[in-house]
Structure 1
Amino acid sequence: MIFILLIFLVILLLIWLDHNYLAKMKKWSYFVSQSGMTGAEIAKQLLLKYELSGIQIIIADGEFTDNYDPNKKTIGLSQDIYYGNSLVAVAIAAHEVGHAKCDQQNKMIMKVRSRLGPYISFLVAIMPVLLISALIFGGAIFLLFICLVLIIVVFHVLTIYVEIDASKRAFQMLVKQNVIMKEEHYAVKETLTSAAATYVTAMFKW
């Protein structure tokens, strides 16, 4: 009974986190940054200020597809972020530059996460088959299933750490470079916090 209650509470938390993220994105997307700069311009300026060379800013297809690719050295911004000048565009663009800054500093945790990514995607794809096999045959297959689950969980924990780190870096860069005014701090910080929190929900959705 307690276990079922815990699962129910976790599900409610995940629903709330997702709803909260979308609500914050919608709320602050209506507020134009006082700098008037677009997300692409923000990213370009921060890359220049922090001497992050060799990184290309591109348009990423779809919504909520903003990303930093450490292998291709690209910052992908969705159209709303790339061309937008809202506080959300500012925050998300800076967040991706935060990843680039972390990558430049050769943070081991980011490298490990990046290398594990393709393997984790494969593991997630075959998990249903492994689960069924584990339930039918048990024994070694069940132990293998548990080990793989732990590996996936570790990967997601690393992801959460990396995302929180990028959000912290983003806010610090924006403040230090006077890209955002003091009255915009709360909105940007709230956006960055909400964005990082979505990776907590991702850990339970695979």
Structure 2
Amino acid sequence: MAANALLKTQSPTFASPNSALDNIVLEYSISYFLIDLLHYLIFFPTDILFILHHLATLYVFLTCRYIIHHGAFAFFMLLILAEVTSLCQNIWTLAGFRRADLPAAAKLYEFLSPPFYALYTLVRGILGPLLVYKMVVFYLSGVAENLIPRWAWVSWMFVIITAILVSIVWVFDHWVDWFKGRNYKAAKKVV
């Protein structure tokens, strides 16, 4: 949906006005994040990182849709980048939940970990920051000043940069654990 909206945007910039299609995509995304947030609050209330991520994302989408009415183009680009990793992450997460009691899940988890971490690192550790850098440069140039108030784009950039930094730390920690596990298995075989 976001890709379709991007393709139909007339003269796209990070401050383009939201079209009717943009608003539909924002509303759908808001609904998704609300339902997913409810799911986490009910079933995983201690997963503070994901709960905060959903609250921050909702803030950005809600202000873009209902207060500012501009800027969806930038968020759809970020949304597409984030969703590139979702299928692999969902399978990896489900396999991780069941790996202790299902050998097939453990094998799938081990098999998916390196390619998932590599994809996540590329998309959320390299491409995402490059896009955000372009957004910051655009907003700092003052081009959007009459369309998107400074408080809005500054708060959006704070939320997005924080999310990217957390993503980088998250994947770095998983890489470290993966390498430790491989070293442990290699040392165990030697003994």
TM-score (norm 1): 0.40
TM-score (norm 2): 0.42
Larger proportion of helix: 2
Q: Which has the higher contact order (CA 8 A, sep 6+)?
A: 1
Q: Higher strand share goes to which structure?
A: 1
